[in-house]
Amino acid sequence: MKAKLILAAYFILTALSVYPLEIQAQEAIELPVPQIQAGMPLMQALKERKTSREFSSRELSLSVLSDMLWAANGINRPDSGHRTAPSAMNMQEIDIYVARADGLYLYNASANTLVPVMPGDIRGLTGRQAFVKDAPVNLIYVADFSKTKKLSARDAEFYAAADTGFISQNVYLFCASSGLATVVRGLIDKPALAETMKLRPEQKIIFAQTVGYPQD
């Protein structure tokens, strides 16, 4: 419980120090409780796991978003605040930003909410491929290197990439289990996207991942 309160306080303090006042005034979107009993067996999900680059514009419900984000890097041990994906030395340095048609959000795992970051549709900035602007959700994995100060810069970069890989694979398996399409992407104009997102100097975009229903 103590760890959960600390994590919630971190997100609140970050919002107060970084987000514009008009964004702070917007309420976080409460996500439904993740349905952790849903989905297919692991071995079947591994068999179905694949990359797709064709997406329907059909929106993902908040219930699907909740389940997917929990699978990606949600809290599976509430007493300790530990996650569904491993992170080096439990630094938990990877934040998941969610770009939808109605705005950009930050996933707060401890509160199971989407914290508003900015209004407006920035999906087209999350990658150079044509499909990213129309797919319902683009996840942006951002490393917060203020949490890795005990490491050398080289090691911090290495672990951030590895930890992002764990999270993105969780999303792949969730999508395979739920009949969704996904692709993880590195072809991004990262400086332009970081500027639009108003990231701090110690934050760095690692990858993005598009998620949606398969194209009909």
pLDDT tens digits, one per residue of 57-116? 999 999 999 999 999 999 999 999 999 999 989 999 999 999 999 999 999 999 999 999
For the whole model, what pTM was predicted? 0.88
204, 145 contact by CB (below 8 A):
yes
The two structure tokens encoding residue 122 = 């920035």
| Whole-number pLDDT of residue 216 | 79
What is the percentage of the chain residues whose pLDDT exceeds 90? 85
Q: How many CB atoms are located within 10 Å of the residue 103 CB? A: 18
What is the percentage of the chain residues whose pLDDT exceeds 70? 88
**One-letter amino acid of 99:** A
- pLDDT tier, 42 (very low <50, low <70, confident <90, very high otherwise): very high
Q: Is the pLDDT of residue 5 over 80?
A: no
How far is it, in rounded angstroms, from Cα 29 to Cα 213? 22
Mean pLDDT, the chain, integer: 90
Q: pLDDT tens digit string along 99-110?
A: 999 999 999 999
Question: Strand, coil or helix: what is 112?
Answer: coil
| Whole-number pLDDT of residue 48 | 94
Q: pLDDT tens digit string along 131-173?
A: 999 999 999 999 999 999 999 999 999 999 999 999 999 999 9
What mean pLDDT is predicted for residues 196-201? 96
Q: Shortest CA distance to 73 belongs to which of 152, 147, 7?
A: 7
- The backbone region for 30, taken as left when phi is positive above 0, alpha when psi lies in -120 to 50, beta otherwise, is beta
Task: Return the C-alpha torsion angle 147, 172, 129, 107, nearest 10.
Answer: -40
Q: Is the pLDDT of residue 55 over 80?
A: yes
Class of domain 2-212: alpha beta
Output phi, psi for 35, to 5 deg: -90, 85
Q: Shortest CA distance to 143 belongs to which of 65, 69, 73, 64?
A: 73
